[in-house]
Amino acid sequence: MTMRTIPAHAASTIGDFRRYPGCRLLLSCAACGWSRTYNPERVIGRLQELRAGGHTTRLTDVRQRIGWNCPRCARMRWRMAFAWPPGLGPAEVKRLTAQARN
């Protein structure tokens, strides 16, 4: 059961999560594969609280704000992308997308 990463590009912003209903923000270590996920809305809330950004903050900039090392390998080679949680199949994504439009 693994997350399905949604391909991002250099200009992807954290506010793009709205295009992918049900997605999570996936932070993963490029060195060892350790990962954890976040609720994108909460990360945006936190950026706003710190006056450090918001919906238009690029994923690459969010990543650069991470000030800690990987708990498994102690390196700092973070990757950040949106991802679908395990079990969220195409049918469920379609349903959530329709819901978001209404």
Instruction: Give residues in contact with Zn ion (CB under 5 A).
Output: 29, 31-32, 34, 70, 72-73
Quote the CA–CA distance of 53 and 66 in Å, as a whole number: 14
36 secondary structure, DSSP code: E
Please say which residue, 6 or 32, places its beta carbon nearer to Zn ion.
Answer: 32
What residues have CB less than 8 Å from 42, skipping those under 6 apart? none
The nearest distance, CB 79 to Zn ion, in angstroms, is: 11
The nearest distance, CB 31 to Zn ion, in angstroms, is: 5
The nearest distance, CB 71 to Zn ion, in angstroms, is: 8
